[in-house]
Every structure is written in structure tokens, then in C-alpha cells.
Amino acid sequence: MEDPMPETDGPHTSEPPHGVSTEKGEVLQTVEEARKDGHASEFGGDEDGSSGHARPAGIGAILAVLGVVYGDIGTSPLYALQSSVSIVSGPGHPAQPWEVMGLASLTFWALMLIVTIKYVILIMRADHDGEGGIIALMSLAQRVCQSQHFRWLFGLVGIAGTCLFFGDSIITPAISVLSAVEGIETSVPAAGHFVIPIAMVVLVGLFSAQVMGTGTIGKAFGPVMVLWFTTLAILGVKGILLYPHIFLALSPTFALEFIIMHGYLSFIALGSVVLSVTGAEALYADMGHFGRAPIRKAWIFFVLPALTLNYFGQAALLIRDPHALVNPFYLLGPHWAQIPLLILATFATVIASQAGISGSFSLCRQLIQLGYLPRTRIVHTNASEEAQIYLPSLNWILAFGALVLVVAFRSSSALAAAYGIAVTGTFICTCVLAMVVFRRVFKWKAVTVGLVFGFFFIVDSIFFSANVLKIPDGGWVPLAIGIISTIIMTTWKRGRSLIAARQQADSMPMGSFLARLPQSRTIRVPGLAVFLTANPDIVPNSLLHNLKHNKVLHDHILFATVQNLDQPEADRGHRAIVQELAPNIHRVIVRYGFMEMPNLPRALQELNSMGVPFDPIQASYFTSHEIVVRSRVPKMQLWRMVLFLLLLRNAASTTEFLRIPPDRVVEFGVRIAI
């Protein structure tokens, strides 16, 4: 399919096309300057974290944040401390009180340094027109960098972090649901062999429900998570009463003592401590939905205190009863509360999984918009909320991966080895991109950037290195997912770039065609023809084939190009830019941000207000179907060519992606050798 969306080596903004008249060139220049200058808070936003867009920060917004943002990090107490203490414990030599306090201190300071200071205070300042997440940060870093080499490098860092996030999105449902269902072994030991089947049923139900949309699924998320965090705090207080001295672990001296005394073993333990900060990336990724203020308030005043109390409560319980290591979270509660606690934990883990799944849908859509993934079917589950989407193919890929992990690892403690690398790898990628943004955008001094983010880079690298030791035990899983995803994205990007270059070389310049048109004897027939083209400066192959076979042109012609911007949304009032090339022949550039879903017919209808008549009932859309073959001098390795052709065959059509009615489309086959 001749793609009307240009494929380049990275995100870009619209540039005035060649051949534009002086008047129109000034219009395009004005639009571009307005985009750069019209957002006072494009880089950093105002204090409410909304980047110039008013965002509520009341109870309702905080409730929504609890239901969506904090599910993942909120369920870490189910397995994080247990996994850490297990490293220094063994048959006949349980963890000593100072060791437990040291691990509790490490956990608390991981929450303070990674989540509170790095993400909540620093990284969340770097919004991209109000949006967060590693793709937005990557686009922001690329925009402020003039060097093509560094733009490519930052793109690679962003893609690597994104691929690791996909690995995290597969592991999160598996480990979260499995850790919750494992409570059966504590409350009903005889039913322990039902853990795996029940976990698989819960996962199948979770992924099957995605078709209903996050709006329907998420109605009860907020209240459930309020109950969950309240329960965490209450259980924590109950445990702390057993050993109130646990509060001494707030001092970092206990963490330092543990590291000094245990040396290499403490390095291994850090690979489990990092499990307590899984989900920190969600705070930044979901900033565009809620703004900074609600996320910050929910963390500082509710989530962080609840998590701290629960981790310290578990530590106090383990000091008093080392045998509670079998499942310290559930053993914090009384025996009569085991079943209700199991049910609540299962709901909480489903919510935690939902946040990752929804984030993957949004991230995948952004990557499609930026040209890193082939188009796929996207279902909008809410007529009034553009961001609520469902991707069937991605959903079942995630489901299959999660089910395989449950069957292969069979316990949350075993699966924890696969979890850390995905999380810490994303941390490193975010830190690298943040260095660029804070240096170039916020104008921090190089020394300040080096000291602040250099420190966090070292911390993230230590956590990542500690998890590298787990590669043989399961850490290879997210690495494999990340490598495969990166190969797919780079292969697709490269293939589409080669196709675009070949089309450019084989096509006729638009200026030459328009110069010859008045002298030609081409028959003009009534109607409106919309020719989709990736490059607005060349004549689409579909038009040339239409002339060759039908020997006619329509009275009214539109050359339509969709441009993907490196910003979340196109500027209001500048969705479409129109240029009259000849009488009744117009060139239209329709612009979409990476957080938007294209709808070409709707955008073209807006041309009526610009003086260009457009009747959707009369319009016919012409496009080309690309038949890609290997050239005599191939520019891709054979295995990558096979992969690209496989992706191309399974990609959704351009017309479907742009939401063009299929009965209005005329398609011509075009053979392209790359």
C-alpha cells in the first residue's frame, strides 16, 4: 500500500514542501513558528504539571491516579522484600535482625531515590507538550539535538527502553497474578497444586476483558486501590508493633552497613531490592493523562507512606519470626483474613497488570505513528475518549507471553529473576535521555547534569548489573524480548525507508507533471479524486497508473500526505495545510502527533472551511499496493528481507489505518525492488 505517511530515520516536524508558493511558504513558516513559540510550557510545563493545559488535582483525579498509575508498584510488597531476605537466608541460618533492617533500609531508600527524587521530582518535569513516557522523552531529546548522528543514537536508546518496557508488560501480569494466587498455599496449603491453573484462568480472563476497553474495566480501579493501600498500611502497622525499632531502618546507615558487611552478597541482593520500584516508569508514562500534580500528591501523601509501613511491617515480622519468610505479606494478617486478603490481592494484581497492558497499547500506537512498527488494527473502545484503545494482536501476544512464563517459571520468586532487567534497563535509557533534555532544554550546567544524573546513572547501572547475574535464571527473558522487538522495529524502519527512497527515485516530480498538464489531451471527468502519497513533491504512482489504464483525470484532485509530528498532538487549528497547485488541484498536508489516531476523511472535511470543496460522498481515494521484491543488488540482508516481507504482509492497510471507507478506495499494484 502506498503509504501517505513519510518514512524517515526518526521523528520529524513538517517542513515547507518544495515548490510552495511564497504566500503558502509564509503560512507554513508561521505555523511552524507558532508551534515552537506558542507553548510556553512545552518543555517543562507549569507547576500543576499540565504543560499549559488545566488539569484537576482534586480527590477525583487522585483516585483515578491510584487506580491506573500505582497498581504495579503497589503490588510489589507481595514479593519484593521476601525475595530480598531469601538471598541472605538459608536452611538453618535465618536472616539476622541487622540484615533484615539493612534490606528494609535499602528498600526504603530505593523508593526515595529512584521514585521520589528521580521520577517524581526530576524526570516528571520533562514533559513533551504535556505528555510523558520514554517515547515522548526520546522525541524531545531528538528535537533539541542538531546532529543527525546523535538523533539516531537517542532514537536507538529510546527504542531499546521501549522494547524492555514491552518485556516488562509481559512479565508484570505473570508475576503479579502468580504472587497473589500463591496466597492459597498460605491459607489453604492442601490447595497449593491449584496455583498455576488458577493463575492461568485469571490471566485469560484479564486479557479477554480488554475488548471492553479500559473505561469499562477501570470504573472500580480507584476505590479498590484505595482499599489496597489502606490495607497495606494497616498490615504494616500491625507488624511494626511487633518490633517498633524497625523505624531505625529509615536511616541510610543500616543500608550502608549491610552493603559493607556483605560485600558481593549485597550486590546480589540489590537485584531483588529493585523489585520494590517496579512501576516507577508508569508515573512518568501516564503523566499526559493526569498531569504532574495528582501523581505527585498521591505518591507523597498516600502511596509512599503505605508502602513504607508495609515493608517495615514485613521486616519487623521477619525479625520476630524468621519462619514467616515463607510468605511474610500474607502472614502479616490474621488467619481469618487470609481469604479476603487473597481476593483483594488478586484484584490489585489484575489492576497492576491492566496498567501495563494499557500502557503497551498506547506505546504501540505511538511507535506505529512514528513509523517504527507496521500498522495494525486499532479498536477505539470509547467514542468520547480517543486514548482508550484496544489492539487485538498485541493483546494476545502479551497474553501468550504471560501464560508461557507462568507455566515455565511456576512461582513468583523464580519469575522475579526475569523481572529486574526489564525494569532497570528502562531506568538507564530514561536517565540517558533525561541528561540531554535537562542540559539542552532546562539549560542546566554540564557539571550539575553530570552530578545529578551521573549519580542516578551509577545507581541504575548498579541495579542493572546486579540483575545481569540473573540472566541464566530467567533474566534472559526480557533481554530476548527486547532484542527481538528491536530487530523488528529497526527492520521495519529500514525497509520502509528503502521503499520511500525507491519511490522517490522512480517517480515524476510534481512540478514537471503540472507544467505538462495544460498541454496534454487528458480527459477530465466529473468527481473528486484523493491521491494518497508519502512525498508531496512527487506524483503518486496511483495517479500515473490511473492515467495509464483509464486515461482520465477527475475535475477536482487532492494530493493528500499525512505527516507524523514529533509532538503528542498537532497544534489546534493547524491540522491541515493546503496549497493550490493548479486550478482545482490542491496539495493537502494533514498533521498528527504521536498520541493521535489519524482520521483522514474527517480531516479533509475541514477543508470546506478553507475554501476547498470536499464532499465525502463524492470522493474516491486512489492508492498503490506495494509488491516488494529483492533487487539484484539488495540493500538488506536476506533474513531481514524475509522478516520485513512478513511484517509487510501482516500490516493493516493504509486505508484502514486512516479510517477511509473501503468502498471509496481504488487500488493499483506497484512492483518495488529494494
Domain shared by 288 and 374, yes or no:
yes
Residue 33 reports pLDDT greater than 70:
no
Which pLDDT score, from 0 to 100, does residue 51 have?
Answer: 42
Any bridge partners for residue 592, and if so which? 564
Mapping DSSP onto H, E and C, the string for 102-166 reads HHHHHHHHHHHHHHHHHHHHHHHHCCECCECCHHHHHHHHHHCCCCHHHHHHHHHHHHHHHHHHH
In a domain, 451, yes or no: yes
Q: How confident is the model at residue 9 (pLDDT cuts 50, 70, 90)?
A: very low
Domain shared by 487 and 516, yes or no:
no
Q: How confident is the model at residue 216 (pLDDT cuts 50, 70, 90)?
A: low
- Mean pLDDT score of the chain, rounded to an integer? 83
Domain shared by 480 and 516, yes or no:
no
223-265: pLDDT as tens digits: 899 999 999 999 999 999 999 999 999 999 999 999 999 988 8
Domain shared by 469 and 512, yes or no:
no
Name the more confident of 266 and 55.
Answer: 266
Alpha-carbon gap, residue 413 to 85, rounded angstroms: 12
Residue ending a domain, among 493, 526, 549, is: 493
Residue 40 reports pLDDT greater than 60:
no
Q: How confident is the model at residue 673 (pLDDT cuts 50, 70, 90)?
A: confident
Domain shared by 197 and 335, yes or no:
yes
Domain shared by 292 and 160, yes or no:
yes
- The burial class, CB within 10 Å (0-12 / 13-18 / 19+), for 468 is middle
In a domain, 8, yes or no: no
Domain shared by 449 and 523, yes or no:
no
* Cell numbers that stand for 665 in this block: 478506495
Any bridge partners for residue 624, and if so which? 668
CA dihedral 134, 140, 143, 149 (to 10 degrees): -40
Contact criterion met (CB below 8 Å) for 164 and 422: yes
Which pLDDT score, from 0 to 100, does residue 316 have?
Answer: 96
Domain tally, the chain: 2
The average pLDDT across 276-299 equals 83
Domain shared by 530 and 476, yes or no:
no
288-338: pLDDT as tens digits: 667 788 889 999 999 999 999 999 999 999 999 999 998 899 899 888 888
- Domain range for 232 is 59-493
In a domain, 92, yes or no: yes
Residue ending a domain, among 493, 521, 556, is: 493
402-446: pLDDT as tens digits: 999 999 888 877 787 777 788 888 899 999 999 999 998 899 999
Name the more confident of 57 and 232.
Answer: 232
371-389: pLDDT as tens digits: 889 988 888 776 555 666 7
Domain shared by 612 and 556, yes or no:
yes
Which pLDDT score, from 0 to 100, does residue 345 have?
Answer: 87
- Of 434, 487, 580, the C-alpha closest to 128 is 434
Residue 637 reports pLDDT greater than 80:
yes
Residue 132 reports pLDDT greater than 90:
no
In a domain, 500, yes or no: no
In a domain, 627, yes or no: yes
Contact criterion met (CB below 8 Å) for 274 and 420: yes
Domain shared by 576 and 479, yes or no:
no
Domain shared by 233 and 351, yes or no:
yes
In a domain, 211, yes or no: yes
Q: Which is it for strands 523-532 and 552-564: parallel, antiparallel or unpaired?
A: parallel
In a domain, 557, yes or no: yes
* Nearest-5° Cα angle at 384, 380 to 388: 40
Residue 14 reports pLDDT greater than 60:
no
In a domain, 256, yes or no: yes
Domain shared by 619 and 553, yes or no:
yes
For residue 78, give the CATH number of its domain.
1.20.1740.10
